[in-house]
């Protein structure tokens, strides 16, 4: 019987979504041929004791169900690599790069893939709101540089709202990214086994794709495959593949874009995309005939080969 340990929960602001992802993975994988347990890093006083437990269990694979800092940022992946413990998805360096939104934007720029005008801020630096707006224009998006699930993100339409948005985002970390808001369509491309899956379009029924719209049934319409011309689909999928390979990702990742009808603007890379009932990567996989169990099994098998 295969032993699979899912790492889920953790200490990031995305803990609750990670727990949901991990439970969904466990339910899909458990069978007579597969023993699955969820291990929460938050239950351990330090990672040394957690690694000791993993070494004693000797799982065939550690499925990374964590999201956000201390799980998706490469630090835990580095520790697992050091102890030769097998885990799903990308290695530590790719995870570290993907988690740093500014570094990922720089990489896309190097590849001549469009990105929104942006300003990178550190809490200790001196800057004015005018400097931010002059670079990005309004409306703009304020986001923590290294988090996901729309945690700490605000869309600012008026100058007088910028200060509150910055204060909110700084609750989560000291480095922020302010980006010009790109009107148009929200699209995402999952890469699996070096191939781009069908594009998913995300259409919130009200407002934007914030935390509530991501994780509340009925708040958002998903279209897969997205209604794109063959050339549009090819362009955004190729952008995603270029970024995936240049970043050094492995096995699978999800790459997000905004499309204004002319250009596809790269937003970020998710090296550990969610696996909940409303998650986008399972939707894309389903469009090519892979149910959740088949998708997870493919991720495990690919991770054994990396």
Active site residues: 14, 149, 215, 254, 256, 268, 270, 274
Q: Which two tokens stand for residue 288?
A: 């090519």
Q: What three-state secondary structure class fits 160?
A: helix
Q: What three-state secondary structure class fits 291?
A: coil
Separation of alpha carbons 82 and 231, rounded Å: 43
Q: Which two tokens stand for residue 193?
A: 């086994």
**191, 181 Cβ separation under 8 angstroms:** no
Strand intervals (E) in 65-109: none
Max CA separation in the chain (angstroms):
61
**183, 266 Cβ separation under 8 angstroms:** no
User: CA angle, corner 122, sides to 119 and 75, nearest 5?
Assistant: 105
Could you identify the residue written with the tokens 């050091």? Answer: 82
């Amino acid at each position: 019987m295969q032993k699979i340990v899912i790492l889920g929960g953790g200490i990031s602001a995305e803990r609750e979504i990670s727990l949901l992802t991990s439970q969904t993975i466990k339910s899909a994988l458990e069978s007579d041929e597969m023993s699955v347990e969820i291990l929460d890093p938050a239950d351990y006083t330090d990672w040394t004791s957690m690694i000791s437990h993993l070494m004693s269990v000797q799982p065939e694979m550690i499925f990374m169900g964590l999201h956000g800092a201390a799980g998706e940022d490469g630090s835990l992946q580095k520790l697992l690599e050091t102890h030769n413990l097998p885990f799903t998805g990308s290695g530590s360096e790719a995870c570290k790069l993907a988690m740093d939104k500014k570094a990922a934007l720089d990489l896309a720029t190097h590849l001549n893939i469009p990105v929104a005008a942006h300003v990178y801020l550190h809490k200790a630096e001196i800057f004015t709101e005018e400097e931010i707006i002059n670079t990005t224009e309004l409306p703009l998006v304020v986001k923590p540089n290294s988090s996901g699930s729309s945690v700490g993100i605000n869309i600012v339409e008026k100058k007088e709202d910028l200060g509150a948005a910055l204060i909110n985002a700084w609750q989560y970390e000291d480095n922020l990214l302010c980006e010009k808001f790109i009107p148009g369509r929200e699209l995402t491309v999952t890469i699996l086994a070096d191939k781009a899956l069908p594009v998913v379009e995300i259409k919130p029924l009200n407002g934007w794709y914030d935390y509530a719209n991501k994780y509340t049934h009925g708040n958002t319409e998903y279209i897969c495959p997205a209604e794109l011309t063959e050339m549009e689909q090819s362009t955004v999928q190729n952008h995603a593949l270029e970024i995936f390979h240049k970043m050094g990702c492995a096995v699978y990742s999800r790459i997000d874009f905004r499309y204004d009808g002319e250009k596809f603007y790269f937003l970020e890379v998710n090296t550990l995309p969610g696996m909940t009932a409303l998650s986008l990567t399972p939707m894309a996989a389903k469009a090519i005939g892979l149910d959740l169990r088949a998708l997870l099994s493919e991720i495990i098998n690919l991770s054994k080969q990396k």
